[in-house]
Every structure is written in structure tokens, then in C-alpha cells.
Amino acid sequence: MMRGIRGATTVEKNEAAEIERETERLLRKMVADNDIKPEQIAQVLVTVTNDIDACFPAKALRHLNGFDFVPVMCAQEIPVKGSLSRCIRIMMTAHTEQDQRDVRHTFLNEAITLRPDLLQKG
């Protein structure tokens, strides 16, 4: 079954090293929390708010073992007034046997405010 797995994080500064580090941290946690292997991933869409332009966050996938052939694309979020700044969001589509309600979505740093209803309890 194909499932969408959401994730988001924020950075304090628009600096390439921090953007890559936090994106990699988020991806690693999304994969670990859902017991996903790279070959199960159909695609990864990474979006950023318009205040992040120091690098492509998708470059962080190059740091992950086995992700050489995972299709990835970056895009910019819609600039909604009052939205969370310096935010990186990920939508990963992967094959998993998990029921949709059991998929673990990952929110780090200030992004935990985006969807508290999706955070795992306990």
C-alpha cells in the first residue's frame, strides 16, 4: 500500500549547513519512525517557505545511505501571511503495510505547532 508520510522542521538561520542538517535529521527520523527503507520510497517532495534560499534542502538526501535513486523535488510554499517562517516540509510517498492511522508523521523544532493532532502520544 502506498502511504503519504508528512514531516516538517524549522531552521533558525537561512544557512546552507543548517538547512541540510535539519532536513537530514527530519528525513532520518521519518524513515526510522516508519521503518521505511529507501527502496520503498516512491518520491520525496520538499517545500520551503520563501525565507529559505541558501540551498536546496533536498541535497540532504545525498547524505543518506541508499537514497541515490530516490526521486526528490523541491518547491516553494505558498506565502501565506502569518505562516510559520523558516519552515521545511516533506511529503514522502512510500510503500508500507502500515494502516494509514498508524503512519507516524514527524514534526521537529518550531514545526511541532503545525499539526499537534498528528504528533504521536506517549
pLDDT tens column, 69-87: 999 999 999 989 999 999 9
Q: In whole angstroms, what is the distance from residue 5 CA to residue 23 CA?
A: 15
* Amino acid identity for residue 92 in this structure: M
Does this model's pTM top 0.85? yes
In a domain, 119, yes or no: no
pLDDT tens column, 17-66: 999 999 999 999 999 999 999 999 999 999 999 999 999 999 888 888 99
Total number of domains in the chain:
1
What residues make up the domain containing 46?
2-114
Residue 86, sorted as left (phi over 0), alpha (psi -120 to 50) or beta, turns out to be left
Here the CATH number for the domain that contains residue 84 is 3.30.1330.40
In a domain, 122, yes or no: no
In a domain, 36, yes or no: yes
